[in-house]
Amino acid sequence: MTATDERRPASKQPTPTGHPSAWDIFTKWSRGGPWRRRLFALAVTLVVLGTVTSSVPSIGGAIEYIILKVQHPGAFDRTLPEELTSKSGVRVVERNTTLDLTGWKQTTSRDIQEGSKVSRGLSLTSFVLRKTEPGAKYFVHTVSSSSKAAPSIWCDSHPFRIVQANTQGSSDLRQWNVLVDISEEPDDAPFTVNLLVTFWNGFQKPSDWWGGFRILHSTEKAVYNVVFPPGLPAADVKFRYKDMTTKETVDLDPAKLAVVFKPGNGSVRKVTCTVDNPLPDRSYQVVWRWPESASTSQ
């Protein structure tokens, strides 16, 4: 699952998820007239010039971006309709997230200030969902980042669009709402939504050496995996949650989280924890320690 695969040829066959790719959609859509083919050329030009945002990081993504802009005017506006924020209409049967830090690199303060894309972190989440309201059209997932390099966001299972939220006060934390179109999914059976988010320049100082997930929907089970860089295994791994309402942080007992460690020379290369019936408005977190030498360099 990757957002940058530009070599896939056009095909009439659906993707393994059962949904056509952006390229497949464009191939069919472009038959409507020569101006649509010219629109493809414009999409490629935007990619080459770097004017397409990191939310659409490839030629295929640019095609998807153009199609969404044509089919859904206002799809990338900065405000989210009230009917989408008030209720989700879905229940999460299980979510399985892997935070892959194998692309992590030490960055400089200049890299961070300039928003250079140096150190990469991947967050891959598979949601098994069931509709709680017949006819529910969207599943809304929120992505947050304080990096000056905006994350890339992709869904390889369903059509989707991205709405950037307004910055809260003076905070440097930015948020994006991912609206996944689930209108074609059945009302009476579970289905899967896959999301891939690429973060940049994170985990660069001790206060940032943690990863986690926030519960926004009614959820039955959450599995969280962290894969550490090959040359930088973790030590002193702990677990906690932060109550987003009271801002209180509470330590969690690993014995109650079905924790699985993959050790290596006295340290941890991968950790998996499972939370049954996680509570809403909590951020469940895995905290670790790296050598001080891994902190941001000047």
146-160, 170-184, 238-252, 274-288: least confidently modelled range? 170-184
Average pLDDT value for residue range 18-41: 55
- What does the pLDDT read at residue 63? 47
**CA separation, residue 139 to residues 84, 129, 174 (Å):** 9, 9, 20
- What does the pLDDT read at residue 68? 46
What does the angle CA 280 – CA 281 – CA 286 come to, to the nearest 5 degrees? 95
Confidence of residue 69 (pLDDT cuts 50, 70, 90): very low
pLDDT exceeds 80 at position 35? no
DSSP-derived letter for residue 167 is P
Residue 142 in tokens: 């929120």
pLDDT exceeds 90 at position 82? no
- What does the pLDDT read at residue 256? 81
9-13, 269-273, 277-281: least confidently modelled range? 9-13
Average pLDDT value for residue range 135-160: 91
Average pLDDT value for residue range 145-154: 90
- What does the pLDDT read at residue 262? 74
Confidence of residue 178 (pLDDT cuts 50, 70, 90): very high
What does the alpha-carbon distance between residue 89 and residue 278 come to, in Å, rounded to a whole number? 18
Domains of the chain: 22-71 (no CATH), 93-133+148-157+187-294 (2.60.40)
Provide the strand spans (E) within 104-220.
120-131, 138-145, 152-155, 160-164, 174-181, 191-200, 210-214
- What does the pLDDT read at residue 171? 64
**What percent of the chain shows pLDDT beyond 70?**
66
What does the alpha-carbon distance between residue 131 and residue 137 come to, in Å, rounded to a whole number? 9
Residue of 117 and 31 predicted with greater confidence? 117
What does the alpha-carbon distance between residue 59 and residue 253 come to, in Å, rounded to a whole number? 46
Max mean pLDDT range (79-83, 174-178, 262-266, 282-286) = 282-286
Cβ neighbours around 280 below 10 Å, total: 12
Q: Is the separation of the CB atoms in 224 and 270 below 8 Å?
A: no
Residues with Cβ within 8 Å of 117's Cβ and at least 6 positions away in sequence, in order, are 149, 200, 201
Q: What is the pLDDT of residues 194-233, one digit of tens each?
A: 999 999 999 999 999 999 999 988 999 999 999 999 889 9
Confidence of residue 39 (pLDDT cuts 50, 70, 90): low
Residue 116 in tokens: 């250079």
The distance in angstroms from the start CA to the end CA of the chain is: 35
- What does the pLDDT read at residue 267? 81
pLDDT exceeds 80 at position 169? no
- What does the pLDDT read at residue 13? 39
Q: What is the pLDDT of residues 83-135, one digit of tens each?
A: 444 456 899 999 999 999 999 999 999 999 998 999 999 999 999 999 999 98
| Average model confidence (pLDDT) across the chain | 77
pLDDT exceeds 50 at position 247? yes
pLDDT exceeds 90 at position 288? yes
Dihedral sign for Cα atoms in the order 41, 42, 47, 50: positive
